Amino acid sequence: MSFRIVCILVLVCWPVHSGDRSNQVDASTGDDLQLEKHKIDQLAPCGFFRARGIRWQKKFNDGAVLEVACDPDPGSLLPGYHVWYLEPGRKRLEIGRCIFDNGCNQGWYYTPTGSADCCVLRVEWQNADGGRNDGSPRRIDRKHFTGPEEPYLDVVRWIYRPRIRQLEIVCDKHVYLMRLPRWPHNPKCERMQPYIGPRVESLRRTYVDDL
């Protein structure tokens, strides 16, 4: 019983504090220069002994809602971040998540310039991790996994475009710096930049789904 409790304690998804952009790995500036970028911030850590439910929410004038929740997957007791987009008058779509133990997370949403409350035109969610997750592919969703090549620092980025209902998932692998075989377990997410080496272009995987 004690072994089970120890394992649960370390399964935590961490946000990156809004004032620090040091682990923004290849984050896009958006498809269109006229879009205004906004940070998804004020997220508390998500773990077994943390509160469940919505951690962040933004409502838009067109009726859409963007949410980040701390909840377990169906059939699991271990929670993680889930990013949801509620379509105006339609359905709730999962457009991002934390797939790593002790993963570092950050997100952005894009609106028309000068109209932050109008509508959302693009959403990005980035989940980065390495360390204890090296050694086997990680499940992204029912159809997709990270690549089996290790040891690398994995960075998974979800990009959702509401107007065309398209979700793009980009999986990258970066080499480790500082002569480390892996990223330290349970690192300070704001201080991960010194461990991130170049992206390995040949190992990039991209999946596109119409929701």
What confidence tier does 73 reach under pLDDT thresholds 50, 70, 90?
confident
* Residue 4 φ/ψ, nearest 5 degrees: -60, -40
Q: What is the pLDDT of residues 117-135, one digit of tens each?
A: 899 999 999 998 755 666 6
Cα(153)–Cα(180) distance, integer angstroms:
11
Give the residue among 126, 127, 134, 125 at the shortest CA–CA distance from 176.
Answer: 134
Strands 53-59 and 92-97, sheet pairing: unpaired
pLDDT of residue 17: 52
Find the mean pLDDT for residues 63-76.
88
* Residue 202 φ/ψ, nearest 5 degrees: -70, -15
How is the chain split into domains, by residue range?
Answer: 31-210
Cα(195)–Cα(174) distance, integer angstroms:
9
Q: What is the pLDDT of residues 144-184, one digit of tens each?
A: 899 888 888 889 999 999 999 999 999 999 988 766 656 65
Q: What is the pLDDT of residues 46-69, one digit of tens each?
A: 877 677 888 899 999 999 999 999
Cα(22)–Cα(9) distance, integer angstroms:
26
Q: What percent of the chain has pLDDT over 70?
A: 75
pLDDT of residue 74: 75
